[in-house]
Amino acid sequence: MAMPDPLPAHAKGMNVCLEVFLVNLAGENAVRYIVLRQDITGDGRNPDDLVLDILFDTEAVPVGIAIKHCYIHSTSWRYERDGSIILTYLVYSDQMEFQNDNGSVLKLENVSITISEDTTRPRPAVLMEEQIVAHGIRHLSYLARTNNRNLLDVISTDSLRRFKAMESLLAGKFN
């Protein structure tokens, strides 16, 4: 029989989850994505390294992906009501291979704006996965429009054109 944990829940600190969205363009104004999540509570390693560990785990990653053709971007963090912190990364690649049409397709014009009604509590009351994806894509659109060299080194000319054509308000606003 396991001994009960002597520390109350509030004394343990927060759980931390690493959330990695694997994304590529799926049409003029749509993206295909898969999200992977991993509990990293208590892991003291750099989350950037943990993302790479996840991407190199071919059993855990359900898409074909070559790291040298990826742009990895830390997009956000958020507090969840269960007491956890979510660190979100977006991994974009033109060459990501979604097998058997796996993943979700998101038409970016269908994403609603999400904002907090309380200026002292910036986290929206409701936050949907699609809004997180759109937020990350807005980051990439902004980087494309500002000619970020690292992004330009891994995306095609066509993808660059499509990212630049997307609405490019600063990340956090959707329409």
* DSSP-derived secondary structure letter, 170: P
Is pLDDT of 5 > 60? no
- Check residue 70 and give its pLDDT: 93
User: Pick from 56, 63, 80, 61: which is nearest to 129 by CA?
Assistant: 80
Q: Say how many domains are in the chain.
A: 1
The model carries a pTM of 0.85
Question: Who's near 50: CB < 8 A, 6+ residues apart?
Answer: 18, 38, 40, 43
What CATH number is given to the structural domain containing 107? 3.90.79
Domain membership of residue 132 (yes or no) is yes
CA dist 94 and 69 (Å) reads 8
**Mean pLDDT of all residues in 85-109:** 89
Residue at token pair 């990340």: 171
- Check residue 4 and give its pLDDT: 52
Is pLDDT of 35 > 50? yes
Residue 173 CB neighbours (<10 A): 14
Is pLDDT of 172 > 50? no
Domain membership of residue 175 (yes or no) is no
Phi, psi of 157 (to 5 degrees): -60, -40
pLDDT higher at 158 or 101: 158
